[in-house]
Structures are given as C-alpha cells and as structure tokens.
Structure 1
Amino acid sequence: MTAQQSPPAPVLAWAERTLGPLAVLRGAAAGPQHARTWHVVRTGDGGRFHVRVAPDPGAFTRETFAHRHAVPALGPGAAPRLLATSAAHLALIVTALPGTPLDRLRPATAMLRTVHWRAGFLLAQLHQAARRTGTAHHDAPTDLSRLADEAARHLGTVGDRLSADEQKRVMALADRLGFVGRLPLGYIHGGALGSSLLWTADAQLALGDFESARFAPVVLDFVDLACGPWTAQPRLRTAFFTGYGRTLGHDERLALHCLTALTAARRLAEARALGDRAAADACEAVLDRVNHEVSG
C-alpha cells in the first residue's frame, strides 16, 4: 500500500473552491477497497477537515446517505459533519474530529469500561437511525450468507496457513451461519470500529468512516470488537451491551460466534503470511475462545 501525499488535482481544486486555500497535513494510504482520506488545514483560520475519495460509486452513495440520514441522530460532536460532496469526483468533505482511536487506547481498565459503555450507547443510536427502505430491508439478511460464502472461498486460498483442525472448526461455524434464525436489523456502521471510534481528551466518544454503512443485521457491528479487546477483557463486552441497552438473543450470539471465528481465521492466515507472531497469537486466542464458548 502506497501513500498519496495530496488529493488528485481536480479534487483539491474542488475542495479549495469549497473551503478556501488548503495545506495537506497528512497524505492518504491508497487502498483499493477503502476511501482515501487526506487531513487538510485551511490556511486562513486553521480549520481542519478531511477530504475523502470513495473507492467506487456505491461507497460514495453509502457514505453520503449515512451523513444525511443517520449521522444526525448521533448528536453534536459524535460524528464528523458533512460539508460538501462531489459525485463527479466521488469525494466528500467532512469536519475533522480530534481523538484517539479505540484500538490505540491504553487507559486504566475502569476508563476502558466507560469507553465501551459509551460505544454501546452510540452504536444503539446509529442502529435505530434512518428509515428503512424496502430494498435495503429485503437485502439486509443476505449479508450473512455472503460472508459465509466469502469465508469458504478465502479459506480455499489460504488453507495452507491454517492447520487442518483450524480449517475444520472454522468451516463448521461458517456452515452454521446458514441455519441462524431471523436477526434484528438496523442501520450499521459496517467498518472497523476499533479504528473508527475516537476517544477525545474531554472524555467524549465520536464515530467516523461511514463508507460501509447500510441496513444489515446489527450483530455485524460487534465482530471487530469481539476479535479485539473483548477477548482479553470480557468485562468490556458487558459494559458495551449495558450501554447498548440489551443483551444478544440466542441466534445473535450464535451468529457472533461464527462471524468472529471467520474474521479471526482470516486475520490469522494474514498474520502468519507476514510472520507477525504477536498478531497470530491474538487470533489463535480468539479462535480458542470461540471454540470453547460454542462447545460449552
């Protein structure tokens, strides 16, 4: 992945027509499946913004819809504010929010529980936001079957990096996704919450990066945290769902187990390919926990 230090010239020209003269503070990593984001400052008054270019029209539409119809439900300061969009450039300008991503926080355990409680509350607000359209409501349940199919294809390409027992356990859980019952639907964030949730110096929590937002089973939004901080600190999961306002039903718990295992297996294969022992150990711990919880 390479870094692009400045937005494409037409995008920068559009952004400066909208905001005024700009200086780029940080370039964007050019990833094929995610929006490229440049951190810019307005030279006239020091105002800070993000210029984002979506990877495709679908992502641009999702992010624009999210900002216009769902993000306002989160309240002032809880998400970036949309300032302008350009369909021609697949670009958006949003306000920059200060804060440390959740996955980089190392405060005391009591503070982490507060952060996760607030994360649960914030996600509940998002899941209840925006009005469902008939098409979105109809298509949402297909996310689970699609993810199971993708997991099978992915394991076919990285199977040599997983043991036979690991492959067997993961595929068994992928198969179980097909038998999960009806799941609660909502307007989900759909991205990596660990990097999208920002904890500020004044003890506030904000959520950004809405390019994957859509109507889907809400359990999908819990997978990133289940593969991360909840593994070593189960109390954080308890705090999150206290803030969320409800616990998971039986089918949701099963779906979360399956989805967590699929995500951990993918990350484990990637970590082993890169020789990242620490990341591989963390993924193995997730798979062991899921296997224990399902077997128990």
Structure 2
Amino acid sequence: MSSTKPLPAALQRWAEQRIGPVVSVRDASHDWDRSRVWDLEGERRVHHYLKVSPSVTFFTRESRAYHRIVPALGHTRAPHLIDSRAQDMALLLTAVPGAPAKELGLNTTQWRTVHQQAGALCARLHEAAPLDPADRVEAEASLSAAADGTEKHLARAGDRLDHDEQQLIRDHAARLRRVGPVPVGYIHGDNQPRNWLWSTSGLALIDFERSRPAAYVQDLVILATTQWADHPDRETAFRRSYGRELSDAERHALRCLTALDAVNCLAWGPDNGDAEVTARGRRTLDRLMKEDRS
C-alpha cells in the first residue's frame, strides 16, 4: 500500500456511538486511491469495519445489498450492516472470519471446496429477493447496456487491439444483443476470490459495492476468464453447488461477455498500471481469436 489513510475523527466518533470504544484502527484499504476501509478493534478484541464508498452509486448499491440480499447469506457468510451515514457515504459493518482466498496458497482440493461453497452462496444471493419493477427494467436491459459500452472501451484501448481483434469484439457485442431472455436478479457484481474470505468456518462473501440488478450470468464472467480458464474442476464444483445448469442463452451470453470483459481490461488495465487485469484481457482475447480461427 502506497500510503496509510487516516480515519477521520468524526467518523470514529460516529462509529463509537454504535459499537463502543475503539482501541485501535488499522487501514484496511485496497491498494488504489479511492479505496477507504478501516478495521476497528474494540475493547474485547471485537472487530468491525468502517468503509467510505468511492461514489454515491457504490454507496447506494452496497446499502441496498446489505438491506435486501446479504442477510439471506447467513450470519457468518457475509458482513452485516450496523449503520450507515449517507452524508459521508460511510458503512459500519460486522467482521467475518477469514482471509481472501487468492492470498492463501490453497491446494487443488481446497480450491474445489472453495468454489463449491462459492457456487452455493452465489445461488443463495441470486435468489435472495425479488426485483422491484424499476430494478427489473434495469436487470432486463443489462446485457444490452454491456454491449452499449463496447465502442467506448475500444476507443480507450486504441491500438492495443488490432483490426481483427476489434472486429471480434464488435461481433460479440452484436451477438450479445440477440441472445434472448435470461434469468435476472440481484448479483454480487465483483464475484471473485479476492472477495471470498476463507477460514475454518467456511466461505464468506464481502464487498457488495458493485451489486446491482442484472443477468445472473454476469456474476460468472471474471471467474470464467480467470479461475476456470485453467481449472475446469473448479468450474464443475461451482456449477454443481449453484444448483442449475446454464441455459443455452446464458452460455452464449457468457462467451460474449468474456469478449467485452477483455476489451474493458485492455482499456482500463494499462491506464491504471494493473498488470493482472491487463494480462486477463490479453489472455481472454487471444483465446477467443484462436477459437474463432479454428
């Protein structure tokens, strides 16, 4: 982490009014400028997290998630919201046990178990609450909205893609608009091992700021382009516990979405110095190009 971010005194006072005296504060932010998260330790070594959202949109999404869908995961399977402070876009959360799965050096069997539990939690999240009418409209338009962003990402990526690669992306965006109806609801929005906490208690999901109404299959894109690309056994474990097979339309949509994810990664990654995201985009695009030529 490049620098430690101090917790504003007003937010610590607000938190202490709800959870009691704070003995120590640890900056638990991700290593990017807009991430602001603190681990608050209380007198009896009870920990809570205070998060300041990076935008009104993220604060609104995460607040809705903690009220509407996160409770369905269960007491130890996700943080729970203690209180929020809209003027500061602040959320005060319980802590759940574990560390991000991607940091733990898990073996093959452990990874399968993690994906098995992730599939079950993902299904529980997707089934947690019915969409209200406005959210249903947004969810049913989510695939078209993803396709709508294609030209913006292509322009930003520029010459990082050659002509044939750009055409492949445009073709997949056009196909995405034609896949037909797919199941929709509330999704996590950033469903991947950095947001999966693993411990002896099992798996917990965190970080719901990208939760939104969308096609369920959009929650599988990052997994398909990272974890599952080299480890089909992990995909099998996830899907078995997810509880249903993807429809033909969903499988078609997932392939199209991986193409759009690739150009997004190649637009965002280099501009933000993120080698991991850049490599993800390049690898996905190379794979799709190879498959289209075969």
TM (normalized to structure 1)? 0.89
Provide, for residues 253-289 of structure 1, a one-character-per-residue CA deviation record: whole Å limited to 9, x for no partner. 1111111121123223455567877765554332343
- Label 1:280 to 1:72 Cα distance change in 2 as closer, same or farther (>3 A): closer
Alignment-mate amino acid for residue 233 of structure 2: R
SS of alignment partner, residue 55 of structure 1:
coil
Matched with 1:36 is 36
Offset of 1:35 from its aligned partner?
A: 5.7
Q: For residue 41 of structure 1, what is the amino acid of its counterpart?
A: E
Query: Would you say how many aligned residue pairs link Structure 1 and Structure 2?
Result: 293
Give the whole-Å Cα distance in 1 for the aligned partners of 2:119 and 2:77: 13
**1:241 Cα deviation from its structure 2 partner:** 0.7
- The alpha-carbon distance between structure 1 residues 249 and 64, as it changes in their structure 2 partners (threshold 3 A), is same
Amino acid at match of 1:260: T
**CA 282–29 in structure 1, closer or farther in 2 if over 3 Å, else same:** closer
**Matches of 1:209 and 1:30, distance apart in 2:** 15
When structure 1 is superposed on structure 2, of 139-148 and 126-135 the one drifting more is 139-148
Q: How big is the alpha-carbon RMSD for the aligned residues of Structure 1 and Structure 2?
A: 2.5
Shift of residue 113 of structure 1?
Answer: 1.3
Say whether 1:251 aligns with 2:249: yes
Does structure 2 retain, via aligned residues, the 8 Å contact 1:24–1:40? yes
Shift of 1:295: 7.0
Deviation for aligned residue 1:183? 0.8
Runs of 5+ in structure 1 lacking a partner? none
How far, CA to CA, are the matches of 2:265 and 2:5 in structure 1?
A: 28
Using the size of structure 2 for normalisation, the TM-score is 0.89
- The change in CA–CA distance for 1:97 and 1:147 in structure 2 (over 3 A counts) is same
Aligned residue for 1:128?
A: 127
Distance in 1 separating the partners of 2:241 and 2:291: 23
Q: Aligned residue for 2:10?
A: 10
Shift of 1:124: 0.2
**2:115, 2:28 → 1: CA distance?**
30
Q: Does 1:57 align with 2:56?
A: yes
Change (3 A) 1:211 1:119: same
Question: Aligned partner of 1:57: which letter?
Answer: V
CA distance in 2, matches of 1:58, 1:277: 26
Q: Which runs of 5+ in 2 are unaligned?
A: none
Q: Who is 1:101 aligned against?
A: 100
Deviation larger for 73-82 or 8-17: 8-17
Structure 2 counterpart of 1:25, which letter?
R
Work out the CA distance in 1 between the residues paired with 2:48 and 2:163.
48
Kept in 1, the 8 Å contact 2:190–2:210? The answer is yes
Offset at 1:122? 0.5
Partner of 2:207: 209
- CA distance 1:105–1:264, change in 2 (3 Å): farther
The structural deviation recorded for 1:145 is 1.7
Structure 1 residues 15, 59: closer, same or farther in 2, change over 3 A? Answer: same
Deviates more, 1:23-32 or 1:207-216: 23-32
Q: Which residue of 2 aligns with 1:79?
A: 78
Deviation sequence 1:105-131 (CA, Å, 0-9, x none): 432212211111111110000000023
Contact 1:37 1:50 in 2 (8 A): yes
